[in-house]
Amino acid sequence: MIVHSRPDMLRVLFTLKGSIVQRIALRCLAVTLLAALIVLVERHYPALFYPVSATPFTLLGLSLSIFMSFRNNACYDRWWEGRKAWGRMIIEVRSFVRESVAIKDAALREELLRSLCAFAHALNARLRNEDELGAARPWLGERAQIVTHNVCDGILREVGEHCSRLAERGAISEFRYTLLEQRLAGLSDVQATCERIKGTPLPFPYTLLLHRTIYIFCLLLPFALAEPLGWLAPLFTTIVSYTFFGLDAIGNELEDPFGRDENDLPTDALVRTIERDVLSALGHEPLPPALVPVDHVLS
């Protein structure tokens, strides 16, 4: 995630970090060169060009802008829902830590709380299509072999089984067990929410229609601008293509908020927050440092 102070005029004009420019530069350049070629041909062979009104492009551009705003809002909603899910994870872990003080076996309590750190690491890796078990192993130790193919769910199931046995032995009250189980259910809900976002992209025909319309609009626009604007046509074509290609690329990036792109959610930093809270509750010192932005990027 990009972390910038309020940008001034120079930063607005020249900042590349977090900008979408690098991803769309070649497309914008290709459209600009096409516009320049069309203007060149129109200047030398004007008889080849039938006068084209800009009115259809105005109407199409307006419709396309509205269509893109709906799609980008849908993509941002996915990004924001993912952030809320990770915020809830922090709440549930902190609540579990507080409620686990009823567990008098210090070694068992530490084992359970470290399992929650393992869950956070495993879910982070799962959402990035990385090795879940490898991410969780440093926090599970020898217990890493007992989890199933769904590492996150296996960790929560193991913690739940421990809590259930404590309640059966009378080591914790039924009320306390219910509270702990509610926290585990909340973490399971967080996992399901993130998996739903990750595994359910926007409908492909919806996205495909937008991509095609943007390319058609940007490729045909120079034909309408060449005669009235002359050599200013490539400039205005570049501005329009930058806007449409940029909005399209931003939507693609926000659609999956759990990757390693610059504008994705800072899940590594959120996992580190959970680590620090758990280790602090267990009395471990020193705590691992909180992650900070590196070159304005918080991972």
Long-range contacts of 59-67 (CB under 8 A, 24+ apart): 60/213, 60/217, 61/217, 61/240, 64/210, 64/213, 64/214, 64/217, 64/244, 67/210, 67/213
Determine the pLDDT at residue 81. 95
What is the amino acid identity at position 86? W
**Distance between CA atoms of 161 and 4, rounded to whole angstroms?**
45
DSSP string, 80-149: HHHHHHHHHHHHHHHHHHHHGGG---HHHHHHHHHHHHHHHHHHHHHHTTS-HHHHHHHHHGGGGGS--S
Please report whether residue 298 resides in a domain.
Answer: no
**Angle of helix 267-281 relative to helix 55-99, nearest 10 degrees?**
10
Determine the pLDDT at residue 187. 96
Determine the pLDDT at residue 114. 93
Determine the pLDDT at residue 68. 82
Q: Say how many CA atoms lie within 13 Å of 242 toward its Cβ.
A: 13
Determine the pLDDT at residue 6. 63
Please report whether residue 1 resides in a domain.
Answer: no
Q: With beta carbons less than 8 A apart as the criterion, state whether 89 and 274 touch.
A: yes
Determine the pLDDT at residue 12. 56
Determine the pLDDT at residue 89. 96
Range of the domain at 99: 9-281
Determine the pLDDT at residue 224. 83
pTM of the model as a whole = 0.87
The tens place of each residue's pLDDT in the chain, 299 residues long, gives: 666 666 655 565 556 666 677 888 898 999 999 989 988 888 877 776 666 666 777 778 787 888 888 888 888 999 999 999 999 999 999 999 999 999 898 899 999 999 999 999 999 999 999 988 888 888 887 766 655 678 899 999 999 999 999 999 988 999 999 999 999 999 999 999 999 999 988 888 878 888 888 888 888 888 888 877 888 888 998 998 888 888 888 888 888 899 888 888 899 999 999 999 999 998 888 988 988 877 666 77
Domain count, the chain: 1
What is the amino acid identity at position 144? A
Please report whether residue 4 resides in a domain.
Answer: no
Q: With beta carbons less than 8 A apart as the criterion, state whether 140 and 118 touch.
A: yes
Determine the pLDDT at residue 15. 65
Please report whether residue 295 resides in a domain.
Answer: no
Tokens 């927050």 belong to 273
Please report whether residue 80 resides in a domain.
Answer: yes
Determine the pLDDT at residue 41. 85
Which of 32, 5, 31 shows the shortest CA–CA distance to 18? 5
Give every CB contact of residue 212 below 8 A, 6+ residues apart in sequence.
none
Please report whether residue 286 resides in a domain.
Answer: no
Determine the pLDDT at residue 165. 92
Q: In whole angstroms, how far apart are CA 188 and each of 165, 237, 272?
A: 20, 49, 20
3-state secondary structure 61-80: HHHHHHHHHHHHHHHHHHHH
Please report whether residue 296 resides in a domain.
Answer: no
Kindly compute the dihedral angle of the four CA atoms of residues 35, 39, 45, 46, in this order, to the nearest 10 degrees. Answer: 110
Q: In whole angstroms, how far apart are CA 69 and each of 24, 25, 72, 76?
A: 18, 22, 5, 10
**Distance between CA atoms of 205 and 209, rounded to whole angstroms?**
6
Three-class secondary structure of residue 161 per DSSP: helix
Please report whether residue 289 resides in a domain.
Answer: no
Determine the pLDDT at residue 259. 85
